[in-house]
Chain A
Amino acid sequence: MKRAPSFTNAVFRVFDVAVGQLLWSRRTLFMMLAAIAPIVIALIFRLTDAVGVSTLRVNGQQVSGPVMFGGMIWLLYLRFIVPVLGTFYGTALIADEVEDRTITYLFTRPIPRGAIVIGKYLAYLVCTVLVVLPSVMVVYLVMTPVGGGSLGQTFPMLLTDLGILALGSAVYGAVFAFIGARVPRPLVAGLVLVFGWEQVALLVPGYLRRFTVAYYLQSLVPHTMPQDDVMSAIQSLFAEPPPTYSSILWLLAILVVALWLAARTVETREYVLEQ
């Protein structure tokens, strides 16, 4: 008689299957769009600069490539792509299996239920990181040299950006994996959390912003926050961002707790499949 695989083995087997499912699902189109759109913007920026057409100017001065790259990290990746990918994929990890009524097949396997969550979460993390980070890398290589920017001088900031985006993907994924395992309509709940709660809490004075992922994540960004009206208002509230070590610790704590809660929910919950 064959023995049941260990927890680690089970995680790896689920991961192996889930990577393919995630990459070649209907959502892949959205993921590709999210990765390619910034590259297209960067190429347009670079081409207009190469042909001598006046690019973005502030107070009559040309905005340099590194400044534009910093703005894209803030506005596109950190505030949009990472949370949205986290929402779409994180909530789908368990909810899709429930919706498609295929979770029964997973539960009948001789593997711990928690391993299903962890394996699928790792597959999500690998997919999003390997889609988002190469996209950031291409944008960086295309955009930074514009306006006299130096690849060498900005390279440490790029590494920080890559680390922040990977950490952000991990934390958002864990949070939404829990929501997906717990809430009936997880996608709606996830979008409300990202574009409702997080945005409002960041603007409200006091301690509310401490209950958001964005508060800790944004405090790690090495680039200056873009200065439009709304952002300036947020910036004023960020006058005293948490220390780097504190932000990293809080993000890791959120990740571990959310992932543990997601695994525990799947372990203990009885999923009633609609006929």
Chain B
Amino acid sequence: MTHKTRYFLVGASFLLMVGIGVGLVAYYGTSRAAAIPSGLPDELRYVPATAELVGYVDVHTVMGSDLRRQLERATASERHGDKHKGDIHDVAGIDLETQVNHIVGYLEKIEADASTAQGAQPADPRREPQPRGLMLAQGTFEQAKVEQFIREHGGTLEDYHGKRLAVHHVSPDDPENKVRQGHAEEMAVGFLQPNLIALGHVDLVRRAIDRSTNPSADASVTSNTEVMNMARDASGETAWVVGHFDAVSRRMGVPSALRQQVPPLRMVSAKAHINGGVKATIKAETADQAAADQVRDVLRGFITLIRMQAGAKPEFQSALKTLELGGTGSTVQLSFAMTPEVFLTIMPARGQRPGGQPGK
């Protein structure tokens, strides 16, 4: 072998090794930052880093829980002959009860416009920008059945980056378009993997497919330290939700005037362990310790008020006894437990409004 040949072979090998070395270093850095902690669902890799609200439900555990069985028994007589039962359990031809193991969902960030940025209430709440969300369901699915369901409901089927996408067009006047009435919508079901589907706005489903085919398309929520810290804290629970306080309060319909009265909260999380009852913990991160103390004072007063009001209702006493306010530093934590009986007391009977008046 001549020197020239030897130099070429050594040079080419060196170039290859340097490239692999650079890639390895980058991979090591990325995998440390983006690794999904144990106890959290893998589907988080499909959630964008900018998501305002991220949630998880272990549907399989909820459906098999004693709480659910007791609630089913208690409401069996009311549901007897209810022809809409199927609608409750079926979404896009998928039986949530038997086919879904767990669900991860998120709401994307809303870019606030000038009129609402300062916290002003929009003149028409229907004109307030509605967040778009995506649900990632992991389970056992029959793709053909779901596609048939979509076709029967006027949807279309298409291929996107090699994945099947069933798109359902919802017109603005469609009475079923309750969520975003007045806006034309394209909802879709995308098959990311044989055991994983994405349900939601077609743009978000496409983005999820992009992430599944190309993990580096954009950063996932696993690179969002704030969200992941709170999610890590909730790992292993039956259900949890983590989000920015703005997003949570907006979804709860808290008026912006009231929002301004509450000390500045950054992140909020809620987690629940469901079996014979529910053990829930709500946690909030404030900007500093002073704000946390202020929130604790507000909540303490609120709990006292509830206890005074519920004094005459013995069915609430057990739940109120479990109410516990805590947290250290800039964290505020409220935990409580609820039995099936408390649930039944709180839940309005079918056909009744929360106020107690029977519906027509």
Interface residues of A (CB under 8 A from B): 16, 19-20, 23-24, 64, 66-67, 70, 126, 130-131, 133-134, 137-138, 140-141, 144, 148-156, 158-159, 223-225, 227, 232, 235
Contacts and interface: CB of A to CB of B under 8 A. Distances in A.
B5 A24 contact: yes
Given A126-B9, A134-B12, A152 B26 contact: yes
B1 interface: yes
A134 B22 contact: no
B144 interface: no
Interface of B: 1-2, 4-5, 8-9, 12-13, 15-16, 19-20, 22-24, 26-31, 34, 159, 161-162, 213-219
Contact of B19 (A24, A138, A225): A138
Contacts of B31: 152
Contacts of A66: 214, 216-217
Contacts of B8: 23, 130
A35 B62 CA distance: 57
B84 to A, nearest CB: 38
Contact of A16 (B1, B12, B159, B161): B1
A221 to B, nearest CB: 11
A151 B1 contact: no
Contacts of A148: 216-219
A152 B29 contact: yes
B16 A130 contact: yes
B22 A153 contact: no
Contact of A19 (B1, B20, B214): B1
Interface centre among B1, B5, B23, B28 (most CB of A within 10 A): B23
Contacts of A156: 27
Contacts of B1: 16, 19-20
22 contacts: A19-B5, A20-B1, A64-B217, A67-B214, A70-B214, A130-B8, A130-B9, A134-B15, A137-B15, A137-B19, A138-B19, A148-B217, A149-B216, A150-B26, A151-B22, A151-B27, A153-B34, A155-B26, A159-B20, A224-B161, A225-B162, A232-B159
Nearest to A158: B23
A20 B7 CA distance: 11
Contacts of B5: 19-20, 23-24
Nearest to B13: A130
B214 A138 contact: no
Given A64-B214, A148-B218, A154-B216, 7 more contacts: A20-B1, A23-B8, A66-B217, A148-B216, A149-B216, A151-B22, A223-B213
A74 to B, nearest CB: 12
Nearest to A238: B162
Contacts of B19: 134, 137-138, 140-141
A151 B27 CA distance: 7
A66 B24 CA distance: 17
A260 B215 CA distance: 41
B23 A224 contact: no
Contacts of B29: 152
B30 A152 contact: yes
A232 B161 CA distance: 10
A133 B26 CA distance: 19
B9 A224 contact: no
A153 B12 contact: no
B12 A144 contact: no
Given A19-B1, A155-B26, A158-B23, A224 B16 contact: no
Contact of A141 (B22, B27, B214, B218): B22
Contacts of B30: 150-153, 155
B215 A137 contact: no
